[in-house]
Amino acid sequence: MYDIIFKHLEEKVRLTQEEKEVIKTFFKPKKLKKKQFVVVEGHVCTYLTFVSKGLLKSYHSDDKGNEHINQFSPEGWWTSDMSSFFSGGISFYSIDAMEDSEVLLITREDFENLTIEVPVMDRYFRLLFQNSLITKERRLISSHTHTAEEKYRHLVENNPDLMKRIPQNLLASYLGLSPETLSRLKKNVIIGPK
């Protein structure tokens, strides 16, 4: 269960055996059934979540009840409503499991203690957030510059594996398109081998 998190941590930072032991003590493993929630919009997001198996999604429901997907989180990814988790305010997103999943949970307090006891975790999260930030920036510019078709093409070309696990209506939501539009434009997009 912890193998996967250490593998991911060690892609960014070096850890001693003692550090690993400390890290272990801070995370609580949990199994999630498909459709089970980690946090519901409007509540406080108590945990930062590492996905060791399965697939979660985080999304926001607007006034009209339409859902807008913020992020998909497969194995090896982190998820949370960061704003709520770090500031204690209410959550803007709901997060739930799209498949039966296994996660590692850490509370805000334990997160603070972790970064104090194992300072290299600050570096790890600095690098993690740094990379996410680059991705989010690009996605935002892409939402202004690219057509619906271009956005879809980029997505499938860059995540062919993940796409197979995600129903089309949720992809549409992630891209900010209506399901009908995505259905229609697919016909023009032939994804060939690279």
Partner DNA sequence: AAATTCAATTGATCCAGATCAACTATTTGG
Partner DNA sequence: CCAAATAGTTGATCTGGATCAATTGAATTT
- Chain contacts with a second copy (rule: CB under 8 A): 60, 62, 66, 68, 70, 82-83, 86, 92, 115, 119-120, 122-123, 125-126, 129-130, 132-134, 136-141, 143-145, 176
Amino acid 175 reads: L
In the bound state with DNA, the residue whose beta carbon lies nearer, of 112 and 180, is 180
In the bound state with DNA, the residue whose beta carbon lies nearer, of 32 and 48, is 32
- Residue 181's binding partner among a second copy, DNA, none (Cβ under 5 to 8 angstroms by kind) is DNA
- Residue 70's binding partner among DNA, a second copy, none (Cβ under 5 to 8 angstroms by kind) is a second copy
In the bound state with DNA, the residue whose beta carbon lies nearer, of 131 and 183, is 183
- How far apart CA 99 and CA 36 sit, in angstroms, is 9
DSSP 27-85: -EEEEE-TT-EEE-TTSB--EEEEEEESEEEEEEE-TTS-EEEEEEEETT-EE--HHHH
- Residue 137's binding partner among DNA, a second copy, none (Cβ under 5 to 8 angstroms by kind) is a second copy
Residue 190 backbone dihedrals phi, psi, to 5 degrees: -100, 115
- How far apart CA 14 and CA 28 sit, in angstroms, is 22
In the bound state with DNA, the residue whose beta carbon lies nearer, of 132 and 169, is 169
- Residue 113's binding partner among a second copy, DNA, none (Cβ under 5 to 8 angstroms by kind) is none
Q: What is the dihedral of CA 176, 84, 108, 121, to 10 degrees?
A: 40
